[in-house]
C-alpha cells in the first residue's frame, strides 16, 4: 500500500491529515487509486493540490476527499506542496508524505539506497530553510532479493552424476526453506542447470531430476508443494565458461526464481 498524506497546523489544533493512499484491496499497484483527504484552508488550495496530484498520478487515479476548513497555512504553502509532489514520489511504496506546517515527514519503501537519497535530496532542494524534512524512507528487500541473499551464490551440490543431494546441499536448502516459508503466497520456480559435459538430452533430464529433488526437500521442510514449480534447463543457460573446471562448476547450479 502506498500512502502519502499532507496536513496543516491549524491556529489552535492539528487539522485532520490529508492522506493519499493506494488501496491494494481493490486495485493493482500500477492502477491503484490515490485518495486525498483532510482539510485545506480554501478552495484555491484544494484545486491546486488536486491539479498537482492529477498531473503526477493521472486524473482518473486521484480520489478527492478533501474538505475546506478553518486552518492556517504557512506563507506560499501551495507552491511548496506543488514542488514536493513530484514524479519521484511514485517510486515510494507503503509510504506517507506528511506536511504539518513547515515540518515535512516522508516514510515508505524504495528499491535502493540511491533512490532514497535522490528522493530525500529533491525534497530538501525544493523547500526553503524554514522547512524541516524527516527522511524515514527504507530500502525494501524484494522477495527475489531475499532468495538471492539466502543462496549467496553458493552451489547446491549433488552426488556426481546423480540427483541425490549432498550433505552440503541439504544444509543450504535448510536455510532456503526458511526463506521460502517467509514468502508465504509467492510462487517460486526451482530451475536446474548443468555444464555441457555429456549429451544435452542427458543433461536436461539430470537438471530436471535435480530440481525435483530440491522441491521434494523443501516440501519436506514445510514449504507448500503447490507453491513450487520446477524446470530443467540442462546446459542451455551457462553463466561461466565451460572450458574450465571452475566455469563448469558454476554452471552446475540450482536457481530460485519468484514467479508470482
The CATH code of the domain that includes 208 is 3.30.1330.60
- The verdict on 127 and 15 lying in the same domain is yes
DSSP state letter for 17: P
- The verdict on 87 and 171 lying in the same domain is no
Assign 58 to helix, strand or coil.
coil
Give pLDDT, residue 197.
Answer: 93
Quote the mean pLDDT of the chain: 82
**3/36 Cα distance (integer angstroms):** 9
The boundaries of the domain holding residue 234 are 143-258
Question: Which residue, 103, 104, 76, 102, is CA-closest to 4?
Answer: 104
Give pLDDT, residue 134.
Answer: 87
Give pLDDT, residue 173.
Answer: 97
What percent of the residues of the chain are helix, what percent strand, and what percent coil, each to the nearest 5?
Answer: 40, 25, 35
**92/116 Cα distance (integer angstroms):** 9
Give pLDDT, residue 131.
Answer: 87
Give pLDDT, residue 13.
Answer: 19
Question: Which residue, 144, 158, 152, is CA-closest to 212?
Answer: 158
Q: Which of 106, 124, 139 is the last residue of a domain?
A: 139
Could you tell me the CA-to-CA distances from 123 to 49, 50, 92, 96, 140 in Å, in that order? 17, 19, 13, 14, 20
- The verdict on 113 and 158 lying in the same domain is no
Q: Which residues of the chain have pLDDT under 50?
A: 1-31
- The verdict on 120 and 178 lying in the same domain is no
Q: What is the dihedral of CA 217, 219, 222, 224, to 10 degrees?
A: 160
Give pLDDT, residue 33.
Answer: 67
Domains of the chain: total: 2
Amino acid at each position: 500500500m502506498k500512502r502519502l498524506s499532507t496536513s496543516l497546523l491549524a491556529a489552535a489544533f492539528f487539522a485532520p491529515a490529508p492522506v493519499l493512499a493506494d488501496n491494494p484491496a481493490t486495485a493493482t499497484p500500477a492502477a491503484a487509486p490515490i485518495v486525498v483527504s483532510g482539510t485545506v484552508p480554501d478552495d484555491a488550495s484544494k484545486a491546486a493540490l488536486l491539479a498537482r496530484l492529477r498531473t503526477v498520478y493521472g486524473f482518473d487515479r486521484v480520489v478527492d476527499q478533501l474538505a475546506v476548513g478553518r486552518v492556517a497555512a504557512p506563507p506560499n504553502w501551495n507552491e511548496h506542496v506543488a514542488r514536493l509532489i513530484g514524479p519521484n514520489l511514485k517510486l515510494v511504496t507503503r509510504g506517507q508524505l506528511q506536511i504539518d506546517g513547515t515540518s515535512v515527514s516522508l516514510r515508505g519503501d524504495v528499491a535502493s539506497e540511491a533512490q532514497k537519497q535522490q528522493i530525500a535530496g529533491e525534497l530538501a532542494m525544493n523547500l526553503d530553510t524554514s522547512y524541516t524534512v524527516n527522511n524515514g524512507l527504507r530500502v525494501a528487500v524484494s522477495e527475489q532479493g531475499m532468495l538471492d541473499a539466502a543462496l549467496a551464490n553458493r552451489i547446491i551440490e549433488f552426488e556426481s552424476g546423480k540427483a541425490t543431494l549432498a550433505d552440503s546441499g541439504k544444509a543450504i536448502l535448510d536455510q532456503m526453506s526458511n526463506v521460502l516459508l517467509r514468502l508465504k503466497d509467492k510462487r517460486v520456480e526451482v530451475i536446474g542447470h548443468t555444464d555441457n559435459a555429456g549429451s544435452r538430452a542427458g543433461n536436461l533430464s539430470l537438471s530436471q531430476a535435480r530440481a525435483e529433488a530440491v522441491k521434494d526437500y523443501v516440501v519436506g521442510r514445510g514449504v507448500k508443494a503447490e507453491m513450487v514449480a520446477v524446470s530443467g534447463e540442462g546446459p542451455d543457460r551457462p553463466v561461466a565458461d565451460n572450458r574450465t573446471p571452475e566455469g563448469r562448476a558454476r554452471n552446475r547450479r540450482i536457481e530460485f526464481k519468484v514467479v508470482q
